[in-house]
Chain A
Amino acid sequence: MKVSLGLAVVAIVLTLAALSLGLRGAAVGHAPTLQFAEFYQGGGARGLILSDKLVALHGQRVVMAGFMAPPLKPALDFFVLTRVPLALCPFCASDAQWPEDIVFVRLPPGQTLTPTSALLQVVGRLEVGTKTDTATGFVSLVRIDAERVTALR
């Protein structure tokens, strides 16, 4: 039992060290903030019109806040960022029924993430334009290659 407690204490110390390093990682810097409500500047059922801001930020480093959509698997190398938390119900929705304002977030190679319900801040390079993810077949319009994902609350 003494050994167990000792191991637990060491583990907690190491966790704190790791978190502290993470917080001191890449800073947000002067990356502009992009909000979900700023994606489109009109349109309707015949298709949406991308906003000038969204188009101008293509290829730029941006900051976005949102929630992780219900994940497809326990450890993620990508996830879908949404404006409000989603809980798609299997008999009234499907993965073909995502809202139109979502962001496909790719994590840095080799890094994974545990699913969370926290409000997230994502910093990374924005990519705009329809693209099909080769691994999942997921079709997305707006993507971020994340350099950092932080839980805000």
Chain B
Amino acid sequence: MQHGVALIPSCRSLTFLALAWLLLVLATMHVSTPPATAADSEGTRTLLVQAQPAAPSPAPQPSLLILPINRAKFLAGARFDFRVEANHLPVKPTAWEVTIAGKTPEAFFGTQGQVTNTSDHSQEQTFRDVTLAEPGTYKVSAKAVAGETTLISTVEYDVVLTKPLARQAKNVILFIGDGMSLPFRTAARIVSRGLQEGKYRSMLEMDDMDYYAVVTTSGMESIATDSANSASAYATGHKSVVNALGVYPDNTKDPKDDPRVETIGELVKRTRNMAVGLVTTAEIQDATPAAMFVHTRHRLEYLAIMDQYLNPSQSADVIMGGGSASLLPQSTAGSRRKDNRNLFKEFETKGYHVVTTRTELRATSAPDKLLGLFHLGNMNVYLDKAVLKKADVLKQFTDQPLLWEMTEKALDIHGKHANGFFLMVEGGLIDKQAHPLDWQRAVWDTIELDKAVGVAKKWAMAQGDNTLIIVVADHAHSLSITGTYWEGDGKKGREAVRIYGEAKFPDYQDTDGDGFPEKVDVSRPLAIHWANHPDYYENYKVLQEPLSPTVKEGEKWVANKQRAGDGELQTGNLPSSENNAVHTVEDVPLTASGPGAEQFHKVMDNTEVFFAIVNALGLDARQGTSPFIATR
């Protein structure tokens, strides 16, 4: 029976409602008025005294910023944009001096820069597509005088050649488990491999590698990062800020004009004409795959990212994942474009073989260039596409490949390339299921990624062990394994969380040896908790479809009763403006095998992953002539 409230009443009822709420507000104001003081005893006007005006934010101080930033490290010959900007000046500068190693930038770079004034209170000087060709330490100084204000800034750059290693890699495969911090790997190992009297029956493919390191994740502006900033560090060797890909952030609103740093995709194509592959379960425009090639201050500029993927210097040879909505002309149902360009056709014109289903992917041999788009948006997670298979969840997308099948096809194609390849494979939905606190979907996707690692290891050994394989997360999530959950004695909810010795072992069983337990909803699953979360309901069971943990009530996000509403409310510990769990700041694990893997053996800054990759390949960035293609 409908027992609802009419949210759009007739005009007459609207008038009543308005009057009613006006009266209610007046009544509330009276009730909440504190006792009047002698000084303000004239009724409701005291409310004005009560009102706390927001503290005025302090006026921004004048600043002088040099980009790239202090302690930036460069591969000698890598391309970048150099920019100095003075902000929040009282007046326009009357004096402006910049030196690099004692020379003017014009003399040093051999090119003319551009001076601009983004606002009446700023000045910028930008040199596009420059390089530091010789290794060494470079001191960069800038000075701006504006009225009474004199600003001085000095930074130092470290420019390096690749380190010679005992063995060089012909190829590099970089696996990124998005948000896959250590507990995800442990949970995947428990679920996939199981234990017998405390010893794992076997280790994950990503465990069974030769070297182990721990990687930091923070960006230049904050300890907490996102997948754009963190993947960009792996792809460029430079820190940046949340939402940024292959750029340092400047003071303009345009996300496409920020000073760029060369990406690994551009670098290996420019210097050595290697093949590049991007394989993900997320949309191909998502931050992690995009970071390998793209320059933008704003990761959600999907249409602009597609334009960059079509630039010859930013084109991967193999692109697989979801996100076809950004390629379809606006007139096609499912499109997210705002024009009628058909990017499927544009890729086909450029020689790409296009597939859109698992069946088509399997039927494809090994074309030189492959575009595989298997979903309008993100692909479905393993649990939905391969186990639960609910029609409401999969909709029209009932024929999606698995991540290891996509990886295998990418290797078939890249293996033919004489100059070697750089392949990035992302378990992109681990993070996208960790945000809504759906640990089962995240962990089953961790196992899916692990099977892709197994495919790559086997392939690399068959080729003579000439490939560096790295498995790493880009940032952490707050998942933690408390013990197990068991209702066998009639307890439910938190009372059924089994800890220490009572936890025993979960009863996942993988009898067919495919790496996945046959049953998802076992009688004693893991008991997982999250360190940060909004209000949400937890019943420790598998959700039959992915659902948001929160819904919006007024200005706040509150627990969604449609999702595990029979469980217990977990009172949120994040601001009520947050509707999902957020990334955490802990370091993340990295494992590696193959030539160059010995570089990964300690606590490393995330930018050092880039340098380890270029060392393994022995790249000389001073080779090759094709510079950046303008992305404006």
**Which residues of A line the B interface, CB within 8 A?**
1, 3-5, 7-8, 10-15, 17-23, 25, 37, 40, 42-50, 67, 70-71, 74, 83-89, 91-92, 94, 96-101, 107-108, 111, 113-118, 120-121, 130, 132, 139, 141, 146-153
Contact = CB atoms under 8 A, between A and B. Distances in A.
A139 to B, nearest CB: 6
Given A40-B395, A70-B579, A87-B580, A19 B9 contact: yes
Nearest to A108: B8
A121 B373 contact: no
Rank and list the top 4 A-B pairs by shortest CB-CB distance, nearest first. Answer: A22-B6, A22-B9, A117-B551, A21-B13
Contacts, number: 225
Contacts of B202: none
B500 interface: no
Contacts of A83: 392
A99 B326 CA distance: 13
Contact of A139 (B20, B28, B300, B330): B330
Contact of B338 (A15, A18, A121, A132): A132
Interface string B571-584: 00000000110110
A116 B330 CA distance: 30
A15 B338 CA distance: 43
Contact of B4 (A11, A100, A114, A150): A150
B30 A1 contact: yes
A67 B547 CA distance: 12
Given A19-B5, A22-B5, A74 B555 contact: yes
Nearest to A89: B580
B333 A43 contact: yes
27 contacts: A7-B24, A7-B30, A13-B20, A14-B19, A14-B20, A17-B16, A18-B14, A21-B6, A22-B5, A43-B334, A47-B328, A48-B332, A70-B552, A70-B579, A74-B554, A84-B548, A85-B562, A87-B551, A88-B579, A89-B580, A94-B300, A96-B336, A115-B552, A130-B335, A139-B330, A139-B338, A141-B333
Interface in B1-43: 2-10, 12-14, 16-17, 19-21, 23-24, 26-28, 30-31
A150 B579 contact: no
Interface string B340-365: 00001000000000001100000000
Contacts of B377: 97, 99-100
Interface stretch (B74-82, B90-98, B186-194, B431-439): B431-439
B8 A113 contact: yes
Interface residues of B, number: 81
A114 B545 CA distance: 28
A30 B70 CA distance: 70
Contacts of B338: 132, 139
A117 B356 contact: no
B296 interface: no
Given A15-B21, A21-B12, 4 more contacts: A4-B26, A4-B31, A96-B303, A96-B326
Contacts of B6: 19, 21-23, 25, 148-150
A47 B335 contact: yes
B376 interface: yes
B324 A46 contact: yes
A25 B10 CA distance: 6
A130 B23 CA distance: 44
Contacts of B551: 67, 85, 87, 117
A74 B377 CA distance: 28
B69 interface: no
B459 interface: no
Interface of B: 2-10, 12-14, 16-17, 19-21, 23-24, 26-28, 30-31, 226-227, 242-243, 283, 300, 302-303, 322, 324-326, 328, 330-336, 338, 344, 356-357, 373-377, 391-392, 395-397, 399, 431-432, 435-436, 545, 547-555, 557-558, 560, 562, 579-580, 582-583
Contact of A44 (B356, B558, B562): B356
B579 A101 contact: no
Contacts of B356: 44-46
B560 A85 contact: yes
Contact of A149 (B7, B19, B397, B436): B7
B38 to A, nearest CB: 21
Nearest to B338: A139
A151 B4 contact: yes
Contacts of B226: 91
Nearest to A15: B20
Contacts of B300: 94, 96
A42 B357 CA distance: 13
B480 to A, nearest CB: 20
A153 B5 CA distance: 9
Nearest to B534: A87
A45 B13 contact: no
Contacts of A8: 23-24, 27-28
